Amino acid sequence: MHETSIAMGLIESLNQMAEREKAKRVTKVNVRIGKLSGIVVDSFVFAFNALKGQFPKLKDTELCVEEVPIRYRCKSCGEEFEVESVFFPECPKCGSIDLEMLSGEELEVINAEIEV
C-alpha cells in the first residue's frame, strides 16, 4: 500500500514546514489527486489520519482532498472532455484518438493552513 508512504512523506513535509515557520500547529492541508495518479484516495486519507497523531503539531490537521477528473483535449478538433476510463479514449465530437491529456495524473499540495 504505497498510499502509506505518500501520506508519511506529506506529514513529514508538513511537520518540517511547521517547525520552519514556528507554527503551533497545522490546521488544514488541501491536496489534489488525479484519478490516474495510482493513489486510492480512501487509503491515502486513512493512512494520513492514522499517522498524523505521531506528530504533535499535526494531530488535529484536517486533510481535504480534491479528486481531479481525467480530461483530454482533441488535437484534431479542439474539443475538451472528461472520461471515466483511460482505456482507448476517443473524442466524443469527431472520434479522433489523437488526444492530449489535460488532467488526471496530479498529486499536489495546494496549500496548508497553520496557527502561529
Binding-site residues: 2, 74, 77, 91, 94
Domain boundaries, the chain: 2-115
End-to-end CA distance of the chain: 34
User: What is the predicted pLDDT for the residue at 104?
Assistant: 95
**pLDDT the model gives residue 87:** 84
> Which tens digit of pLDDT belongs to each residue from 45-83?
999 999 999 999 999 999 999 999 999 999 999 999 999
Q: What is the mean pLDDT of residues 28-36?
A: 97
The rounded distance, in Å, linking the Cα atoms of 12 and 35 is: 24
Q: Is the pTM of this model over 0.85?
A: yes
* Structural class in CATH, domain 2-115: alpha beta
Q: Which residues are annotated as a binding site for Zn(2+)?
A: 74, 77, 91, 94
Binding positions for Ni(2+) are: 2
CB contact at 8 A, 40 and 7: no
Q: What is the pLDDT of residue 14?
A: 98
Residue 86: the pLDDT is 77
The two counts, helices (H) then strands (E), for the chain are: 2, 6
Q: What is the pLDDT of residue 8?
A: 98
Residues 95-114: pLDDT tens digits? 999 999 999 999 999 999 99
Question: Is the per-residue pLDDT at 1 higher than 80?
Answer: no
Among 36, 69, 23, 31, CA closest to 47:
31
Q: What stretches of the chain adopt beta strand conformation (E)?
A: 25-34, 62-68, 70-74, 80-83, 99-103, 107-115
